[in-house]
Amino acid sequence: MNFNSLIYTVVNLQTIQISGFTSIIPSGSVITVTMRVWINTNPIFNIYVSIDNIAHITALAPIIYGTASATVTATPSTFISGLTGNGNEMNKLTAMLDGTTSTIYFSVTPSSQTIAGSFLLIYTSANLVKASSFNSATSCLINNVTQPCSITTSTYTKIAIYSSSSSNLFPQPPPLPPPATTTVQINQVVFNYASSHSYYIYHFYFQLTASLASQASVQKYLVSPMVVQQRNQLISFQNYFSNNINNTGNNFMNLIRLVSPNISEWQNTIQTYQKRIISVFTYQDWSNGLANVSSYSSYPCLSNLAGTTFTFIQGSNSLNLTTDFPLNWDRINIVLPGT
């Protein structure tokens, strides 16, 4: 099964749909779904799971249907802070351009005691890999000092940073201020893909173990940062947008102009494995007035740039839509020819 083909759709405030399975799921398989939720009031909730094709689920006749109830109060152990990347944008990691590797920064402040031999494991998507320049002896820094670490990738990627049996890289801060934190820097990593609405979601599962002792206490934390492309690379470009013009009841088309006085900005070489894509985001719903346009379908659009594909991807108006999270906006992807 190709996990990158899975599509996560927020149907409404209470429903998440996972589709895109590329092969038959064998009988007896165990499917594990992990999620993070915020519960503002009474922490009592029911979970309903249906497994089948969309037609059967819509008809309320799925082949598998089950429910589970939970009455819990979960207070996560928040010991990770300041997760950022090359762009220094909080909770955003930067996928650098070809030939340049990415860096991950964060801080560790244990919420319980740790001793000699403490170690940190990070589990994330297999689309995060180590670069060919990665060095297990020098690519990771703890408090700006190089420390041994490892990055292994199979069906997922695991990053491991161990204290020696006589040292503690992740000490608990003293009970009185100022609290001490351990800063971590992981260099020479590569993100194969940036995040999108549905694909390439990078969950970072942090697991801090107090020592090397058997059954040592463990703290766990989940962070779901966005991976964004390196910004501001076409510095000469400016965008010009026209508004919807209403004239005697007729709605005229929108026009978007990309203007640059620097012709060299268009001259970058497109490799055989690359595509040049222009993505246009809007908070105001690109499907407005187009009743038959659905997410991931072709979008009625014209361009003097000879675009080969125009695809509409619907955002989620139930999420926190701000300028900091444009991936949740409606979007049109315009694929340009290779030359």
pLDDT at 184: 98
Contact 141, 184 (CB under 8 A): yes
Of the candidates 266, 272, 281, the one whose C-alpha atom is nearest the C-alpha of residue 334 is: 281
With a cut of 70, say whether residue 283 has pLDDT above it. no
pLDDT at 246: 45
Rounded CA-CA distance 124/129 in Å is 10
The more confident residue out of 189 and 53 is 189
Contact between residue 157 and residue 131 where contact means Cβ atoms under 8 Å apart: no
> Is the dihedral angle over the CA atoms 63, 64, 67, 72 positive or is it negative?
negative
Taking the C-alpha atoms of residue 274 and residue 277, their distance in angstroms, rounded to an integer, is 9
* pTM higher than the cut 0.75: no
Q: Based on C-alpha coordinates, what's the Rg of the chain?
A: 24
As a whole number of angstroms, the distance between CA 255 and CA 301 comes to: 10
Residue 274 has a CB neighbour count (10 Å cut-off) of 11
pLDDT (tens digit per residue) in 325-337: 666 678 888 888 7
Mean of per-residue pLDDT scores for the chain: 81
The confidence score (pLDDT) of residue 77 equals: 66
Q: State residue 245's pLDDT score.
A: 46
Instruction: Check residue 138 and give its pLDDT.
Output: 97
Domains of the chain with bracketed CATH: 3-71 (no CATH), 80-229 (2.60.40.1510), 238-336 (no CATH)
Q: Where do runs of H (alpha helix) occur along the chain?
A: 54-58
Encode pLDDT of 287-315 as tens digits: 665 667 777 888 887 777 777 788 888 77
pLDDT at 236: 77
Indicate the pLDDT class of residue 143, thresholds 50, 70 and 90.
Answer: very high
Residue 9 has a pLDDT of 75
For residue range 12-43, list pLDDT tens digits in order: 767 888 887 777 777 777 777 766 666 655 65
Nearest Cα to 85, choosing from 6, 179, 188? 188
Residue 217 has a pLDDT of: 92
Give 198-247 pLDDT, tens digit per residue. 678 888 999 999 999 988 999 999 888 889 888 877 777 776 666 544 44
